[in-house]
Amino acid sequence: MSNHDLAIVILAAGKGTRLKSSRAKVLHRAGGRTLVEQVVRSCAPLKARETVVVVGHQAEQVAAVVEPFGAVAALQQPQNGTGQAMQVARRPLGRARSALVLPGDAPLVRPETLKALIAAHQNGNAAATILTAVLADPAGYGRILRKSETAVSAIVEESQLTDEQREINEINSAIYCFTLEKLWPALSQVKPNNKHRELYLTDAIGVMASKGETVLAQVASDPREVLGCNTRAELAEADRVFRERKRDALMDAGVTIQLPETVLIDPDVTAGEDTVIEPGVQLLGKTKIGARCTIRTGSVLNDAILGDDVTVEPHCVVEQSRLDDRVIIGPFARLRPNNHLKADSRIGNFVELKKSTIGEGTKAMHLSYLGDTKIGSKSNIGAGTITCNYDGFHKYPTTIGNKVFIGSDSALVAPVRIGDGAYIAAGSTITEHVPADGLGIARGRQVNKPGWAAKKRRELAATEKTKKSSGHRSKKRPRRAARNRKHR
């Protein structure tokens, strides 16, 4: 059997009642991807001639996930069991001679395990080969009945187990390799003899074995790979395993991760050698981090691109932004989408950026909002500077040149341009362009009144004194209304 003869069938039509969700089970996520995408990706290295995904619940959404990978969706409507789902796949399977069948809810299986299963099937010249696992707690899974060391006689579903069979801890992963000319006749004999009135693919195993066909079992070396995600708890467990795999891969690539179990990293994230990731960090989406960066505790980076030697201080949020070499941000910086921080620039605490370019070596260290703003190099943005980019109707740009100094608590009312080398006096509300090397100052002029405070204090003291001497009696005297009440 060459891969040219092998097709893949992923059963993904079920609702997933046990999840108690309006979303189809295989569209739930583990390890940053939907379950069905994880399964499709595990199969990709097998280079099968065809991948058929049986869809039913939320068929269009499931098809939209798998079709970009070259899979074909086949509709099962209604969903009458895994055996019927397999029948739905028959026509699109075309001329494939054998099929690797997987459930769409067991996302952790690795390509190497699938390759070994296919090899065992080929070498054993089997009609069916089942990937099994030995679990300490087999509850919920179909159990494997063996007739000898190597051969299987049947699979019994959890709901149909006898007390004796319940003790069996070898389970069916629902991942199988079938020789299709042996499967179809067996499947046609399967009856819906269960309380759900469904056709079980597992029953085809019993039929094949009873006909004397070779049915083999291959035990997975890592039982965690076959975990089925039928409940929220199982989903959480699958997610945990994926996240752990991702962190291990990054650590193998030279990244330090402190308290790794507290760090959440999406599958497409990359990071360079000697980068340090502190506890409680989330690296999401297509985030790419260079070498020797430090991502400090509590920071969340989503689709961020970082050069080398970048420092993200604690508790920063970065979305869809680019930080070039040696940039330092935070603590507590918020970068909304579409910022470009050029080399050696610094963004400090409680600074919010949106759609802004910060030039090389430029600093905005404290309490600012910079939106739709382009700043040149080596400028200094004082504490509390706000770009007023929105007039309630439209957004407008602010342009700040090189070596500009913006004094603290300035409001730059966009659209406005500040030329190279210009100064803005602290506390200004700037509404007009400021020419290069000029000073923009726009605030009320200060007036000092000498002795004013001392005089005020003297006046206050005098009023207090008069009150005390004249107000003694009147204070003790009850008010008329109160007196009247007393005598009622």
Among all residues, which ones are annotated catalytic?
366
Closest CB to ligand UD1 belongs to which residue? 142
Helices (H) and strands (E) in the chain, counts: 11, 39
Pairing mode, strands 300-302 and 317-319: parallel
Residue 446 CA, chain-centre distance (Å), reads 53
105 vs 319, beta carbon nearer Mg ion: 105
Is residue 241 within 8 A of residue 249, CB to CB? The reply is no
Q: Which residues of 119-135 are buried (b: 16+ CB within 10 A; e: fewer)?
A: ebbbebebbbbbbbbeb
Q: Which H helix or E strand runs over 248?
A: helix 232-252
Alpha helices (runs of H) in 67-176, residue ranges in sequence order: 82-88, 90-93, 111-124, 163-166
Alpha-carbon separation of residue 112 from 45, 118, 119, 219, 362 (angstroms): 9, 10, 10, 13, 50
- Restricting to residues 247-306, name those near Mg ion by CB under 5 A: none
**Shortest spacing between CB 338 and ligand UD1, in angstroms:** 39
**Shortest spacing between CB 20 and ligand UD1, in angstroms:** 14
Peptide bond into 331 cis (omega under 30): yes
Closest CB to Mg ion belongs to which residue? 228
230 vs 302, beta carbon nearer Mg ion: 230
User: Under the criterion CB under 5 A, does residue 228 sit at the interface with Mg ion?
Assistant: yes
User: Under the criterion CB under 5 A, does residue 16 sit at the interface with Mg ion?
Assistant: no
- Please state the length of the chain: 488
Interaction pattern, residues 86-115, with Mg ion; x per rule: CB under 5 A = -------------------x----------
- Which of Mg ion, ligand UD1, none interacts with 359 (beta carbon under 5 to 8 A by kind)? none
3-state secondary structure of 382: coil
User: Under the criterion CB under 5 A, does residue 37 sit at the interface with Mg ion?
Assistant: no
Pairing mode, strands 152-156 and 143-146: antiparallel
6 vs 106, beta carbon nearer ligand UD1: 106
- Which of ligand UD1, Mg ion, none interacts with 141 (beta carbon under 5 to 8 A by kind)? ligand UD1
Binding site for ligand UD1 (CB under 6 A): 11-14, 25-26, 54, 56, 76, 79-82, 84-85, 103-106, 141-142, 155, 157, 171-174, 200-202, 228, 230
- Which of ligand UD1, Mg ion, none interacts with 38 (beta carbon under 5 to 8 A by kind)? none
82 vs 377, beta carbon nearer ligand UD1: 82
**Shortest spacing between CB 156 and ligand UD1, in angstroms:** 8
- What is the distance between the alpha carbons of residues 75 and 53, in angstroms, rounded to a whole number? 9
- Which of ligand UD1, Mg ion, none interacts with 96 (beta carbon under 5 to 8 A by kind)? none
- Which of ligand UD1, Mg ion, none interacts with 98 (beta carbon under 5 to 8 A by kind)? none
Size of the site for Mg ion (CB under 5 A): 3
Q: Which H helix or E strand runs over 178?
A: strand 170-179
